[in-house]
Amino acid sequence: MNYSKPPKPSRASRSMALKSRGSCRGFAIFQNRVIVFESHLELMVFFMLTLRMQTATVEDQPDAVTYWDGETLRRHTFDFLVINHDGSRIYIAVKPAKRVERSGVKTTLRLIADQLPPGSPSVRLITDADFSYADRYNATQAFDFLRFPVEEHDEAIAAMADDLVGAVRIADLVAASGLGAMGFRAIVRLIAHRVFEPVNRKERITNDTLVRPVVA
């Protein structure tokens, strides 16, 4: 990311509603562009979407789609639009699991998916039941560390992968690198870039995490 230039504004199709009790609204910077979110859950999902290897970019609140609910022509704004490297696209709706049934969002998304013309994005609902606390922690940590990459640190740690056989503790890799805390940050970035992988994908990534080189 080029921090010498101000980030470009959000391309969201609607303005955030700022007056709402108990809500979390804000923005993040991705690819030097402002991305807005309207809940902590949306922010967590956004972090995870950006870390997908298939993801080329993420659009926040794309233009609303119009659909017929059997009685009325309605409009729906998705939370995100994911554009993959292969050109495929995915509309993402984010909703707390406990609110899915009473919100009727599944019916809405089914109607939209059935009525979208050929070549349109696919439609997906993501809730907090789709990922664990560890997933959320790891995505937040990786997104933060990826904002400030240090190329020489990443290259130094990546070179060590060629000599590794089996799994090793992150703390031991950091010690061997001589980079201290910056070595840990580099390893987390390399996990995001699929140079290393955690042996246990269900745990938080810490100094005690066992990692191994990813076999191509």
Q: Check pLDDT > 60 for residue 163.
A: yes
The pLDDT of residue 27: 86
Q: What is the signed CA dihedral for 131, 31, 36, 73, rounded to 10 degrees?
A: -90
Quote the Cα angle for 48-50-55, to 5°: 120
> Reduced to 3 states, what is the DSSP secondary structure of residue 24?
coil
- Determine the pLDDT at residue 131: 95
Burial class (CB in 10 A: 0-12, 13-18, 19+), 44: buried
Question: Is the pLDDT score of 2 beyond 90?
Answer: no
10-24, 64-78, 139-153, 181-195: lowest mean pLDDT where? 10-24
**CATH 1.10.10 residue window(s) in the chain:** 149-213
Backbone CA torsion sign across 40, 140, 195, 1:
positive
Measure CA 136 to chain center.
9
Does the pLDDT of residue 50 top 70, yes or no?
yes
Q: For a pLDDT cut of 90, what percent of the chain falls above it?
A: 78
| pTM (global) more than 0.75 | yes
Strand partners, 29: 34
Indicate the average pLDDT of the chain: 91
Mean pLDDT for 63-92 is: 96
CA dihedral sign of residues 92, 98, 103, 109: positive
Q: Which CATH number fits domain 26-130: 1.10.645.10, 3.30.1180.10, 3.40.1350.10, 3.40.980.10?
A: 3.40.1350.10
Q: Where exactly does CATH 3.40.1350.10 map onto the chain? A: 26-130
Buried/exposed 155-170: b ≥16 CB within 10 Å, e otherwise: ebbbebbeeeeeebeb
Instruction: Give yes or no for residue 106 having a pLDDT over 60.
Output: yes
At 140 the pLDDT is 96
Indicate the fold that domain 149-213 takes in CATH: Arc Repressor Mutant, subunit A (1.10.10)
